[in-house]
Amino acid sequence: MFYSASELSEFLRRIGFNVDVTQITSGKLLGSIKIASSCNLSFLSIDTNQGLQFHGEYNPKLTTIAMETCANREFSMIQGENLPQKCIAGYGTNKGSVFYSVSPGSSMSFILAPSILFQGMMHQISGDRILNTIHNSN
């Protein structure tokens, strides 16, 4: 459980993400974090009852695939653009910074894979076609 944006920031730093988290809606913050690992993949889930903004440095050693689920889309944005419902995001491999926000009641799910492993698997499957799409997306 986390009860403040700074607690969530600290947890994320411990797992390799240098991000600042700010609460952007008023009220008492109550959130939960779950993490599981298998082979070279980690799965992270963050639930929050308040709107949060994440800003910081992207970890180039990890490729992150993210999905947020929430009926309220008011604050759900990536790089300042509205995030459609059921959108998969966060997978661009050439990112330098992280800037996104989530709405109250959000549940975020992340798959974290070592970038070298992820890019190697994508190259084996489709050559440069998928890698070029990933490099130029999101």
Look up the domain containing 122 and give its range: 5-135
8-31 confidence digits (pLDDT tens):
999 999 988 899 999 999 999 999
93-137 confidence digits (pLDDT tens):
566 777 788 889 988 888 888 988 888 888 898 888 877 776 666
Confidence of residue 83 (pLDDT cuts 50, 70, 90): low
* pTM of the shown model: 0.80
How many structural domains compose the chain? 1
Contact (CB, 8 A) for 104 and 31: no
Cα angle value 37/86/106 (rounded, 5°): 70
Tokens 């059921």 correspond to 86
In this prediction, residue 79 carries a pLDDT of 63
The token pair at 126 is 């489709």
Residue 44: CATH number of its domain: 2.60.120
Tell me how far apart the alpha carbons of residues 138 and 131 are, in angstroms, rounded to a whole number. 13
